[in-house]
């Protein structure tokens, strides 16, 4: 994905740190895709050849019930199986944005974990016992403190966060500016 490409392009001078951002905090209400969601996906999909593949859902299609399970599963994968995290992260992204699957559903997460080399029973246990819930909440609170109100979001030291799907060239320019500032070059 774009951040991994950016990390590679800056030859180890840039380190990506993943943090959780809770979009759907609970499953108490029925949610559906709205024109708002469609418009954001259409704009992101129209960014050129390197744009991620987005399925544009019809208004009224079911939206994920809760984003906590996916975020907790990702935190578990990052800790327990760091070698598989990138594949799982990409698989969760593809499940939600590419196929509009409910990534709040533990069965969906377990199904997409297997091809990534992750044990579904371990993932299920980690999510069910809530051992990563506090970390997800702390990440979300830190993002809010930084002014982040949506995803995707990227924060470079010394700059305002970049929120929303932006062209790769914008990310590259911001990364370069942050590294020049860190090097004391204006």
- Compute the Cα dihedral for 114, 100, 147, 186 and give only its sign: positive
Tokens at 4, concatenated: 């991994």
Distance of alpha carbon 84 from alpha carbon 182, whole angstroms: 31
Task: Kindly indicate the confidence band of residue 121, based on its pLDDT and cuts at 50, 70 and 90.
Answer: very high
Q: Do residues 76 and 127 touch, judged by C-beta distance below 8 A? A: yes
Pick from 31, 52, 32: nearest CA to 41: 52
Residue-number span of the structural domain to which 99 is assigned: 2-182
pLDDT at 159: 84
* Total number of domains constituting the chain: 1
Distance of alpha carbon 121 from alpha carbon 110, whole angstroms: 8
Q: CATH no. for residue 7?
A: 3.40.30.10
What are the pLDDT digits (tens) for 27-81? 666 677 777 776 777 777 777 666 566 667 777 777 777 788 999 999 999 999 9
Query: Any idea which residue has 């999510």 for tokens?
Result: 127
Query: Any idea which residue has 């905090």 for tokens?
Result: 25
Q: List own/partner pairs for 163-172 with CB under 8 A and 24 or more apart.
A: 164/40, 164/44, 165/40, 165/43, 165/44, 165/47, 165/51, 165/52, 166/47, 167/47, 167/48, 168/2, 168/5, 168/6, 168/47, 168/50, 171/2, 171/3, 171/6, 172/6, 172/9
pLDDT at 60: 77
Q: Do residues 168 and 50 touch, judged by C-beta distance below 8 A? A: yes
- Taking 80 as the threshold, does the pLDDT of residue 89 lie above it? yes
Q: Model pTM?
A: 0.79
């Amino acid at each position: 994905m774009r951040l991994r490409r950016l990390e590679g392009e800056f030859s180890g001078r840039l380190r990506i740190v993943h943090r959780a951002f809770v979009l759907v905090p609970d499953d108490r209400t029925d949610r559906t895709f709205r024109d708002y969601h469609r418009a954001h996906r259409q704009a992101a999909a129209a960014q050129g050849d390197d744009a991620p593949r987005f399925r544009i859902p019809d208004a009224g299609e079911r939206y994920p019930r809760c984003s906590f399970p996916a975020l907790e599963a990702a935190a578990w994968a990052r800790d327990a199986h760091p070698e598989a995290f990138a594949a799982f992260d990409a698989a969760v992204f593809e499940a939600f944005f590419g196929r509009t699957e409910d990534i709040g559903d533990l069965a969906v997460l377990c199904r997409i974990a297997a091809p990534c080399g992750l044990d579904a029973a371990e993932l299920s246990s980690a999510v069910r016992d809530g051992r990563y819930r506090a970390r997800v909440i702390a990440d979300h609170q830190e993002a809010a403190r930084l002014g982040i109100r949506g995803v995707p979001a990227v924060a470079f030291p010394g700059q305002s966060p970049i929120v929303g799907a932006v062209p790769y060239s914008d990310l590259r320019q911001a990364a370069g500016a942050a590294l020049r500032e860190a090097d004391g070059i204006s």
